[in-house]
Amino acid sequence: MEIVSEEEEPPDTTPFFRASNIEKSLKLKKLYIKFEGASITGTQKDRISRLHARRAKALGYDTLSLASCGNYGASVSYYARVQGLGSVVAVPSGYSGERNAEIEQYGGTLLREDGKYENLVDMMRDLGNDNCWYDCNPGSQNSFIDFLGYENIAFEIISQLGHAPNFVAVPVGNGTTMTGIYSGFKKAYRMGQIDHIPRLIASSTDGGNAIVHSWKMKSRKIVDLDPLRLKESRANEPLVSYHSIDGQKALNAIYESRGFAGYVSDEEMIRTSSFIERLEKVQALPASSSALSVAVRVMRKFVDYPECVVVLTGRGKPWTTQ
């Protein structure tokens, strides 16, 4: 396998720190931030894109393909280029396209297509099969890589904190990241590295997400939403989902860990993002900042469970309500 230079590799672990200023401001006991925004493209997607690109090259593929709201597409395009491979990324034409320029900058072929993200996943799966491209989409035959990559977030939290926290808050769209983190904690528990599995807190947009909707309906089975009732915006695009591809796995993780789920409005996401930046000097994406919003609600309700880790991503640019 080709070895890439240090500057092309993400850090061995992403930053982990106690958010003391937020604790004081909100009168919380113990709040920690796991900042995935410190990765090369500013998202936890780098953890899996690197693995997919290496696997695709080892298997003899010359192109990686996927549908994306932007973040994953930029990450895959970057790591495809590192491995000397091409990438084809389909993005819904109605999306704001914050990452589109990066996808092309990294050498990816950008397809702006009409339709919802979920429809584009199906389209890219068919297009990939026709052209013998490596399928990076969630739910593909290669998606086991996603869960392995995200398990490392759990292992790093245990190492950096020294034990398992009471809660771990994660924003959910498809539910893939949360599923991988839960799998990591389960593995650590089975190996005797921790004495309990954290209760998971899922956050998403009130614009529509099947995972949070199903939990609030007290359904053990994931329930799809009406695509026509989704409300997509520049702030919530990474989270909107009428059919969360790994939603059943994520919903199972919430129930099995005795966790919680909640919606957050665009306005609250943006306010929380600015609040995090002001107090902790971390520029978190509004969508990921939703995890702090819901975590605070849970922590105030369960004061006997004082310790929470919030997983955040970012891209180093301030947001406003304008």
CA pair distance 314, 262, nearest whole angstrom = 21
290 lies in some domain: yes
243 lies in some domain: yes
Residues 30 and 175 in one domain: yes
Q: Mean of the pLDDT values across residues 33-45?
A: 91
CA pair distance 133, 128, nearest whole angstrom = 5
319 lies in some domain: no
Selected residue with higher pLDDT from 132 and 96: 132
Q: How many domains would you assign to the chain? A: 2
* Tokens, residue 84: 């000397």
66 lies in some domain: yes
Residues 59 and 195 in one domain: no
* Tokens, residue 18: 């106690």
Flag whether pLDDT at 318 surpasses 60. no
Task: Quickly state the pLDDT bin for 306 (edges 50, 70, 90).
Answer: confident
Q: What is the pLDDT of residue 9?
A: 53
110 lies in some domain: yes
Residues 224 and 76 in one domain: no
Q: Are 210 and 244 in contact (CB under 8 A)?
A: yes
Q: Which amino acid is present at 189?
A: Y
DSSP 8-state code for residue 36: G
318 lies in some domain: no
CA pair distance 204, 210, nearest whole angstrom = 9
Q: Are 153 and 36 in contact (CB under 8 A)?
A: yes
Q: What is the pLDDT of residue 12?
A: 63
Residues 285 and 223 in one domain: yes
Q: Which of the residue ranges 4-18, 85-99, 273-287 would you say has the lowest mean pLDDT?
A: 4-18
Residues 153 and 243 in one domain: yes
Q: Mean of the pLDDT values across residues 273-278?
A: 97
CA pair distance 34, 269, nearest whole angstrom = 18
Flag whether pLDDT at 97 surpasses 90. no
Domain boundary among the residues 70, 102, 135 is at: 135
Residues 248 and 196 in one domain: yes
321 lies in some domain: no
Domain boundary among the residues 110, 135, 160 is at: 135
Phi, psi at 226, each rounded to 5°: -75, 115
Residue 166, Cα to own-chain centre: how many angstroms?
20
Q: Which of the residue ranges 86-95, 196-205, 309-318 would you say has the lowest mean pLDDT?
A: 309-318
Q: Which of the residue ranges 1-5, 44-48, 151-155 would you say has the lowest mean pLDDT?
A: 1-5
Cβ neighbours of residue 187 under 8 Å, at least 6 residues apart? Answer: 151, 154
CA pair distance 75, 50, nearest whole angstrom = 8
Q: Are 37 and 46 in contact (CB under 8 A)?
A: no
Question: Could you tell me the sign of the dihedral formed by the alpha carbons of 32, 13, 154, 71, in that order?
Answer: positive
Task: Quickly state the pLDDT bin for 209 (edges 50, 70, 90).
Answer: very high
Flag whether pLDDT at 316 surpasses 60. no
Domain boundary among the residues 135, 152, 178 is at: 135
20 lies in some domain: yes
Q: Mean of the pLDDT values across residues 64-88?
A: 95
| Residues in a beta bridge with 200 | 168
Residues 52 and 123 in one domain: yes
Q: What is the pLDDT of residues 153-179, one digit of tens each?
A: 999 999 999 999 999 999 999 999 999
**Residue found under tokens 């099969």:** 129
Residues 176 and 73 in one domain: no
Residues 125 and 18 in one domain: no
- The boundaries of the domain holding residue 62 are 45-135
CA pair distance 228, 225, nearest whole angstrom = 9
Residues 30 and 63 in one domain: no
Q: What is the pLDDT of residue 319?
A: 42
Flag whether pLDDT at 243 surpasses 50. yes
For residue 209, give the CATH number of its domain. Answer: 3.40.50.1100
Residues 168 and 264 in one domain: yes
Task: Quickly state the pLDDT bin for 223 (edges 50, 70, 90).
Answer: very high
